[in-house]
Structure 1
Amino acid sequence: MAQKLKQSDDISIGDNLRKLRNEANMTQEQIVAQLQLRNFSISRSIYSQMESGTYNIRISELIALAEILHTDYNTIFKGLDYNK
């Protein structure tokens, strides 16, 4: 079974994904096309949910996104903090 990272209202990597995508000068459609080339069946709607923090991302998807965005996990999770 594929493991997922649960996003919630108070902690989400969505904003970081959006920022990294914009820095890479890529559209959501281009990200989705790259994910589909890696055999992920993801629509633009689902990717949009990733960026809005309403989709629980599979770890395999996160690994692919790090490759596509030429970044590391520290950058994807930058600025996030857990509730103490």
Structure 2
Amino acid sequence: LPDPDADPLAAVEHEDWEHYSQARLYQALASLDERSRDILENRWLAEEKLTLQALADKYGVSAERIRQLEKAALQKLRRALQEDAALLA
């Protein structure tokens, strides 16, 4: 049985927010360079996540360098999303 206290408007707003958030995330990802985007997608978004070493082998660098690139990419992504949130405020 459906929840009698469920608010259809809240459900629609939640769904809209989910779509907006996902679109914003992918827009922010698109602003990254190809390697950074690939690292984040493979480390965080892929069904089967790759290890630092697997990505290091792919790019011919050390696992530590991949970690550094991942950290920098996450910071750029975070900044882009925060800037967008500031525009909404």
Q: How does the TM-score come out when normalised to structure 1?
A: 0.34
Q: Indicate the structure with greater strand content.
A: 1
Larger radius of gyration: 2
Structure with the bigger RCO (C-alpha within 8 Å, sep 6+) is 1
Q: How does the TM-score come out when normalised to structure 2?
A: 0.33
Q: Indicate the structure with greater helix content.
A: 2
